[in-house]
Amino acid sequence: MHHECGLIGLYHVDQAATKTYYGLYALQHRGQEGCGIYTCDEQSFEGQKSFGMVRSVLEDKVEKLEARGARNALGHCLYVSKENHLTSNLQPMHFRHMRAEFALASNGSLLNQEQLCAELQQNGAIFQSTSICEILAYLLVQNKDKFLPALTSSLQRLVGSFCYVILRRDKLYAIRDPLGMMPLALGRLGEGWVIASENCAFDIIGAEFVRDVEPGEIIEISANGLSSTRFAERQKSAICLMEYIYFARPDSEIDGINVHLSRFRAGMQLARESFAPSDLIVGVPESATSTARGYAEECGVPFDQGLIKNKYSGRTFIESTQTRRDLAVSMKLSPIHPLVKGKRITLVDDSIVRGTTSRQIIAMMRRAGAREVHMRIASPKMISPCFYGVDTSSYDQLIGSTRSTEEICRCIGADSLAYISNEGLRRAIGRDSVCDACFSEHYPTPLFDYKNIIDAEKERRARCHTGNEKDLEKTL
């Protein structure tokens, strides 16, 4: 199952449940489908979780969670595709076993999940969810070593992009996969500690950023303080480029790079690479706002808020049908007519996946009287599926997998379309050690369960080369 979620763990902190709630509130952009908090003291674990946004699910529950004065807590907000929208997938998950009791929350995706699932079931596991939490939990308890060595060898079995935070009665663990594909930050709060997917969760609770959790690292926090061990050798990391482009909040800093500034620089780079003469630069709110500002700064054309985002709208991207996605985009975004009328507009967005958003907003701009609409995209063309957490796991979801830029331009109805170059984006972000699989088809890990998708696509392309046009039509 693919997940991009938000995690937060607090250790030895007063009002741990309340602070976890605020931290989750700051991480809401990482998962809007569900959320939960578990607390624990010497006696027991206590938890609340449900589908829905952080505020609506947890606001009334925090007081109850706070009642026992627990100083350790774990929180999670869930981003999940429609087919995995199961109650059993809500996190944190609480596991009680003769060898260990713990609450566990995760972010990411295991590429060898099917294989591990089969093996664990042979040994008696009964899975209730499709979550990668259960995989780690079963690996852990089927290992007869003490907790940390068992955890270390369990993690060595996992292939993919993952972060885990584990809460035991007296300890908190933070884990980031060997390639560091997703962010995880460590902070200090008074005498206590905080772990969070992004350090934007620290300000709101008064915590100070200490450092990023390292790829392949296990941090263990206990009454004795913090200790660090590794479950994987140091290697060149591969953070997901989409974290900088789309997922993370602009005020977060990931591996030493501020997200807003990296987007701003990407906008400047995009303008250098593919400037279109225009009267106004408009960013698609909100993830492309920083990028559009950078674009405008570089080309000297005014930037304005030509598109407004309805604050109360949900996520359009994972709606289940095209009609619902279309409707969701028009419920979410609307143009400011007098700003747009009679002008040549350059629209800047972070990505084109299916093309739904671009097509709709270009049509909106034209209805509002725009004379020309040029589309500029701050990521390279998405040509291949992501199996690591972004919810695009098949070729036919991607307009860029079968169409040329000119064809996409016609499909979305733009006067011109350009994407940032892969090279240019890396330079703008300021790091080379990234995962760009969705733009390059170069996957940084073995593919296991997903290899058949790539093989089938290769076969389809080979058939298309031999002139079977019907196959080419399939994905259009």
List of residues contacting ligand AMP (CB under 6 A): 246, 284, 287, 315, 317, 349-358, 390-391
Q: How far is the CB of 244 from ligand AMP (least distance, A)?
A: 13
DSSP letter (8 states) at residue 108: E
Residue 476 CA to residue 458 CA, distance in Å, equals: 17
Q: How far is CA 435 from CA 2, 113, 285, 443, 467, in A?
A: 16, 20, 25, 7, 33
Nearest to ligand AMP of 345, 352 (CB atom): 352
Helix ranges restricted to H, 80-191: 113-122, 132-142, 147-155
The whole-angstrom separation of Cα 222 and Cα 202 is: 20
CA 132 – CA 52 distance, rounded (Å): 21
State in Å, rounded, how far the first CA of the chain is from the last one.
Answer: 26
At 12, list the tokens: 């030895």
- If the CB atoms of residues 252 and 287 are measured against ligand AMP, the closer one turns out to be 287
Q: Which is nearer to ligand AMP, 214 or 391 (CB)?
A: 391
The least distance separating ligand AMP from the CB of residue 44, rounded to whole angstroms, comes to: 37
- Cα-based angle 234, 240, 246 (whole degrees, multiple of 5): 150
Between the alpha carbon of residue 444 and those of residues 157, 212, 339, 438, the distances in Å are 16, 21, 44, 11
Q: Is 5 a catalytic residue?
A: yes
CB nearer to ligand AMP: pick between 355 and 430 = 355
Q: Check 5, 77, 117, 240 and give the catalytic one.
A: 5
Cα-trace Rg, the chain: 23
Measured distance CA(415)–CA(131) in Å, rounded: 43
Rounded to an integer, what distance in angstroms lies between the CA atom of residue 476 and that of residue 473?
Answer: 5
- Whichever of 221 and 284 has its CB closer to ligand AMP, that residue is 284
Tokens representing 33? Answer: 């489908």
Do the bridges between strand 225-230 and strand 217-222 make them parallel or antiparallel, or are there none, so unpaired? Answer: antiparallel
Q: What H or E segment, with its residue span, contains residue 187?
A: strand 185-189
Max CA distance (Å), the chain: 71
Phi, psi at 194, each rounded to 5°: -135, 140
CB of 352 to ligand AMP, least distance (A): 5
List the catalytic residues: 5
